[in-house]
Amino acid sequence: MNKDVTNKINLLIRSEKALLKLEMRRKGRQVVMVSVAVLAILAALVMLNIAAYFYLLESQSPFHAALILSGSDLVLAILLLVVASRQELGSEADTVNEIRNYALEELSGDFDEIRQEALEIKNGFSRVSSGISSVLNRDFTALKSILPIVEMIFESRKRHKE
């Protein structure tokens, strides 16, 4: 059973590592896209703003021309950031999530079994302890309370052989 638990833990660790790699790849693409978008916006906006400013000066005051240009720059920047933030992990992540969830469920079941066995051992030792106390107090009828621990040991050995 230890090897089975170890394999499940290894599967869980590998799936978490794969998810992390996918997430980092997605974040890396987002950073690159945002950086390129910012550089492109800056270069284009400088030239566009200069041209638009001179065009707007013919019909607007310098203050209004600058205000119109800065508003349009802001709208464009927001639009590009929204597009960059809509990147998704894809179908690979769904598969890796399924593997991780499976490993977690299996480990949970194994840990429940281990907890139950530990509880049985604790109860068996409690019965043995009370049986030994009774024997030491010359109450030999309590020897039958030791019998469950012997049965539990045989059952445990039988399970480990399977």
Highest mean predicted confidence (pLDDT) among 46-55, 85-94, 107-116? 46-55
Tens-place pLDDT, residues 25-76:
989 999 999 999 889 878 887 887 889 889 989 998 999 988 988 888 899 8
Going by pLDDT thresholds of 50, 70 and 90, the confidence category of residue 104 is: confident
Gap between the Cα atoms of 134 and 34, Å rounded:
78
Phi (first) and psi of residue 49, to 5 degrees: -65, -40
Asked if residues 70 and 35 have their Cβ atoms less than 8 Å apart, the reply is no
DSSP 103-128: HHHHHHHHHHHHHHHHHHHHHHHHHH
**Number of other residues whose CB lies within 10 A of the CB of residue 57:** 13
